[in-house]
Structures are given as structure tokens and as C-alpha cells.
Amino acid sequence: WTCVAQNQYYSQCLQSPGTATDTTVGSVPTSATPSTTSASASPTGIAGSAPTVGPSHSVGKLPALGWNAWNAYGCNINEDKILAAANQFVSLGLADLGYEYINIDDCWSEMQRDTSTGRIVPDPTKFPNGISGVAEQVHALGLKMGIYSDAGTATCAGFPGSLGNEVLDATTFAEWGVDYLKYDNCNVPGNWSDSGTPPGGDWYNSNSAIRYRQMTAALNGTARPFQFNLCIWGAANVWDWGARVGHSWRMSGDSSASWNYIISILATNVQHLASIDFYSHNDMDMMEIGNGDLTIQEQRTHFAVWCFLKSPILLGTDPSNLNTTQLAIIKNTELLAFHQDSTIGKPAAPFTSSPSSSSPPEFYAGQSSKGMHVFIVNTGAAASKTFNFADVPGLGSGSFKVHDMWTGADVGMFAGSFTTTVDTHDTAAFLVTPA
């Protein structure tokens, strides 16, 4: 076995050619793996019979807004915590701004499937009313509910995965009233992994993509529209085929409440902005506002970057712990309007405004139904930042009105260029319209 990926939960290993087929990966049985996909099977052969149905377009046009339990609680989840977050969405006014998904992450089930039905069983201690009982209460608040599973034999924390049980699990989730599925990438048998570029270089036909395509078909086979998140950690060139399979896809490993993570995922995402449009969202992972030691300026950048690159925004803290300043950040209506614009699906993109040569780029411009927006991400110390209007795609020369999206106030009229001071690790956000 050659281990090609690992994290704190698992090692993903490929069996050497010519050796006997093992029936386990670590301690996780792979009996759910179809016999047609043995370690020696041809990926081309697998692709020939794989489903090609795309995700539902009844949902997922715009990047998701909501909450996920993982960054706040990890495995320490229960019904009360999920419902508390849902109720806080209403009481804090988040639901009125479009935040709608309340998503359960890993560790919600028992360790074994039901021996009679084969179904995944909710942990009765954590969820005494079952997942369907939680979904009913979430829906009663006017919100939607998400669940978590894995495109392997077990989840990252070792609970039952859905590989080989896609139809059964999708049917179960639909019966429970689930609206969103986060589908992870742990505990993948070697014969379902990719040891190199697939034949023809088409990653849509890779083993990794096919694992996710199977769940897409299963979800579509239910009578319920699911928003489908491919938690594939930026593997298998997912940005090239993700929109054919789901609505959003992770671009990296797990987030952390650190400035390094924010700028690293920004640097990664700007390389693949062509993949972003309606029903097609690069996922920069769940939010860390309210967690760790991020400064307020870093939290503003965290939110602004997720907004202008149109990543799903799933809050990842106990909402009751958010202070007034943090709530003001995530409730900024102008940034949310750019993120949720129903007429333009493309994100902001870097542009060059001399002198600027930072990595990741500091200057971004993007169109919305209201006009052209300019965002300035200061990756260093507090400094004066200048951009020329002629350098902004679509603006040209002349005089322009500059409006501050953070304060909601007009800054003034300017000719030729605009200069502003941006604090350390902060992001400035402006709407720029012709005079």
C-alpha cells in the first residue's frame, strides 16, 4: 500500500498493482464497494457505466448562506445546539437577510447501520427526536436543514459513509426532510481513489468524480431538491467538473481561524475564478468569524473575500457568542447583495493598479446589478492604497462617485484615481459609479 493522503482522522492508501485485493482499508470494511471497481479495474470502464445526471437547478443558483455545526462544536453536537442556532438565526435577524441553512456535520449517527434496513441511524442520545424531528422544527422557523455524509466507507470521524449506499441514504435523507448535503472525502478504498491523471485527462471520469456522481444521481432520484456540496478538498481538479455534479465544492482542506488560512485560500481561489457562476461555486470552507484570535479587521476581510468571490457562507460559531461588531460584519447588506446578486453570477476578479505586486492580489473588481465594485485586501501593514479608474475593467477614464459599502455612505466624487487608507489585514469595499 502507498498512502497518498492523510489527516488526523485517516490515511488514504492505494494497493500496489499485482497484490491480492484486501477487503479493508485500515479497520474500515469495503464490502460496500461495487465488485466492478476492484483495484485492477480500468477507470475508463467505471466511467462508462457511471451516471451523468447533473445536480438539481431548483436550488443552488446563488451561493448558500447559513450555519454549520463543525467549527463551533466538532463532534460534540446534539439537537438542542442545532435548534438553538436555528432560533438565533431568527432572533438575530439573520434569517431576514437570507441566511437559511442550518447544517449538521459529522458524528450525528450511530457507529453502525441498522442491521435490518441497512439505514444510517441517528444517535438517539444526541437526537432523541431523530433528524426528521429536527428538520421539522427548523422548517417551522422558515429555514432549511442540512446533513453530512461521506463518499467513502466511513466519515472522517469513523461513522457510516455512503459509498455503495447512495440510493438508500439519499432516500433516507429525503424522507427526513433534509435540504442540503455536505459530502466528505474520507476513508476512500484504494480502488476508488486516483493515483494519477485519468485517461484522456478528463477528471469528470476520475474515480473521485464518479463517487460524487453516484450521489448526484441518487439525490436526483428522490422527489426532493438538495443543495449538494462536494467536500473534496480541492482534489481531482474539481473546479473543472464540479458544476456538472454539485452546486459547490471545497477548494482546500479544513479552514482555521487564522490569517494564514484566509490569504492562502484566497491565493488558491483566484486561480480558478472562471469556474464560478450561477449554480457553480468554489467553496472556501466554513466561516471562522467569532472563533480564535482573528482581529476585527481580519474578520472583515474573511467575510468580504467570501462575499466578493461568491463562496458559500456558512457561519461556524455559536451565534449567541457573536458581539455587536461581528454581527454588523455578517449582516452587512451591501456585501450580501453582491454575494447574492440574482442577475450577475460572476465573482470579482483581480486587476492591476500600479504599484501593486502582492500575492495574493490586493485589488479586485466585480460587476453587480448596482454597478462596478472595487475591493482592496491589505495583506500587510496599514497603508495608503490607490487605484486608477482606467485600470478597473469597464470603468475607463473620467470622474466617478465612490460609495463605501461598509458604512453605506458616499465618500465623494473623484477624477482619475481614488486613494484610501486600509488598516492592517483589513479590506475596503466600494461601489464606483459614473459621475
d(Cα 82, Cα 142) in Å, to the nearest integer?
A: 15
Q: How many CB atoms lie within 10 A of CB 78?
A: 17
Among candidate residues 241, 200, 233, the one with its CA nearest the CA of residue 9: 233
Among candidate residues 251, 181, 188, 163, the one with its CA nearest the CA of residue 220: 181
User: Among this protein's residues, is 184 annotated catalytic?
Assistant: yes
Q: From the CA atom positions of the chain, what is the Rg in Å? A: 22
Among candidate residues 24, 12, 1, 2, the one with its CA nearest the CA of residue 253: 12
Residue 197 DSSP class:
P
Cβ partners under 8 Å of residue 388, min gap 6: 353, 354, 416, 417
d(Cα 85, Cα 40) in Å, to the nearest integer?
A: 47
User: Among this protein's residues, is 254 annotated catalytic?
Assistant: yes
Query: Which residue in 106, 179, 184, 283 is the catalytic one?
Result: 184
Q: Give bridge partners of residue 366 from the DSSP assignment.
A: 373
Cβ partners under 8 Å of residue 345, min gap 6: 61, 62, 276, 277, 278, 279, 280, 310
All three cell numbers of 328, joined, read 454588523
All three cell numbers of 193, joined, read 481513489
d(Cα 107, Cα 110) in Å, to the nearest integer?
A: 8
Query: Which residue in 22, 240, 254, 277 is the catalytic one?
Result: 254
Q: Which residues are catalytic?
A: 184, 254
